[in-house]
Amino acid sequence: MSRIQDILKKYGDSYQTLRSMSVEQKKAFEHILSCRTEKSGIHVDICEECGYERIAYNSCRDRHCPQCQTFRKEEWINDRKAELLGTQYFHLVFTIPDTLNVLTMQNREVLYSILFKASSETVRSLAQDPRFIGALPGFILVLHTWGQNLDFHPHIHCIVTGGGLTDMGEWKSGGKKFFVPVKVMSKLLRGKFLHYLKEAYKGNKLKFFGSMADTGENAAFQQLLDSLYQKDWYTYAKEPFSGPEAIIEYLGRYTHRVAISDNRITNMENGQVTFKWKDYRDGNKQKEMTLDAEEFIRRFLLHVLPLGFMKIRYYGILANRNKKTKLVLCRKLTQILNNPSVFKKLSKCELLLKVTNGKAFLCPCCMGHKLKRMGCTDSLMDTT
């Protein structure tokens, strides 16, 4: 099976002769190339039973690397167990029109931040509206920038409680079938996003290059806004989850996903890369797409985030400032503590055993579970 790392090793040099990379793309590129090689440092495992020694290379720990997400995902899910509530949850998706794609690529940090702000304010204001729930919910927003075919497609996944905390300190549940009407969410998202986009423009925070250069003029920018106001913005709401256990499993699929996983790549030869993708416009059919290797790398690097940009954010009851107060209260009010075994946090050792199917400390020589890490040499790389 071919991997992203294999593609970058084989075709990365030719790609770099054709295209320049941003600082963050260069970092991610180098980290993925170095992952689990001598450049990333080594660690030594020794069996306390028979003395067997195993030397292995470290992972790069870059959030864009397909090889480095499994354990990080399990750690994140484990931490979330202590934050789940005894209520139903909904999955929402907020998407901006593709008319904004070029402007967003030229202003990633600004536009991504606006999308987070507009999405969070939309959820919070509608949930607190007495016509819907009339209470403060808890919700997590996760930024994805890709579609199944690796094209640029910025959107936000939102996992939100189907109820919230009232001003009187009581728990109030919402409807069982939907969180808030989709059309209402779409219109509010559009209004808030474009309001903040206008503010960014007036504050000279937007940059316009190439085909977008003329859009920087007042009249052209206003024309863009008018067209965006006339569009129907896409939001999506899935059926509520069956229970808290389903939430735990589901969350990890979205929070630590990269643009494309290694298992979707089916072939790499003759300067081309073939990968599997799901065509949502054609009944979710599984298809294959073949791209020139340089184009595949270009699309993959499109989704490298700005340095230090947080792609997972917490709001309402789940905001950091509320976790020791409102969240604790809501866990009692929703009686989630009545079944603590479901939400027991695992130790790091237990997590390692889970990820490796019980083989984390298994000595391949004597088959005893006595492997212990004795030494580690880290690389000097920073994760992005």
The pLDDT of residue 27 is above 70 = yes
Can you tell me the mean pLDDT for 363-375?
A: 83
Residue 299 near residue 150, CB atoms below 8 Å: yes
Confidence of residue 253 (pLDDT cuts 50, 70, 90): confident
3-class state of residue 259 by DSSP:
coil
Q: Give residue limits of the domains in the chain.
A: 87-259+303-334
DSSP SS3 for 141: strand
Q: What angle do CA 376, 3, 380 make, to 5 degrees?
A: 30
Q: pLDDT above 90 covers what percent of the chain?
A: 66
Over residues 148-158, mean pLDDT: 96
| Total H helices, total E strands in the chain | 11, 13
Stronger pLDDT, 354 or 187, i.e. the higher one: 187
The predicted model gives 153-171 an average pLDDT of: 95
CB 376 within 8 A of CB 41: yes
100-104: long-range pairs with CB below 8 Å, 24+: 100/228, 101/152, 101/153, 101/154, 102/210, 102/211, 102/212, 103/206, 103/208, 103/212, 103/215, 103/224, 104/152, 104/154
Six-digit token pair at 361?
A: 């400390």
Judged against a pLDDT cut of 60, whether residue 195 lies above it is answered with: yes
Digit-coded pLDDT (tens) for 276-320: 999 988 888 999 999 999 999 999 999 999 999 999 999 999 999
Band (pLDDT 50/70/90 cuts) for residue 337 is: low
Of 23 and 335, more confident: 23
pTM for the structure as a whole: 0.91
Average confidence (pLDDT) over 79-94: 89
Share of the chain above pLDDT 70, in %: 94
Q: Which of 92-96, 207-211, 356-360 has the lowest mean pLDDT?
A: 356-360
DSSP state of 360: T
Band of residue 17 on the pLDDT scale cut at 50, 70, 90: confident
Listed in order, strand segments (DSSP E) in 40-85 are: 41-47, 53-57
pLDDT band at 380, cuts 50/70/90? very low
Q: How confident is the model at residue 377 (pLDDT cuts 50, 70, 90)?
A: low
Beta carbons within 8 Å of 180's beta carbon, 6+ residues apart: 126, 127, 132, 237
Any bridge partners for residue 62, and if so which?
A: none
User: In this structure, are residues 119 and 141 in contact, taking their beta carbons and an 8 Å threshold?
Assistant: yes
Mean pLDDT in residue range 249-271: 90
| R_g (Cα) of the chain, nearest Å | 23
Contact 144, 257 (CB under 8 A): yes
Q: Are 67 and 262 in contact (CB under 8 A)?
A: yes
**Measured between alpha carbons, how far is 271 from 297 in angstroms, rounded to an integer?**
12
Cα–Cα distance, 107 to 115 (Å, whole number) = 12
Task: Report which of 180, 181, 178, 182 is spatially closest to residue 88, judged by C-alpha positions.
Answer: 178
Q: Is the C-alpha dihedral spanning 334, 340, 346, 347 positive or negative?
A: positive
* CB-CB neighbours of 350 under 10 Å: 14
Q: CA 52 from chain center: how many Å? A: 39
More confidently predicted of 62 and 378: 62
pLDDT per residue over 125-135, tens digit each?
A: 999 999 999 99
In the numeric block, which tokens belong to residue 100?
């904004």
Q: What is the pLDDT of residues 218-227, one digit of tens each?
A: 999 999 999 9
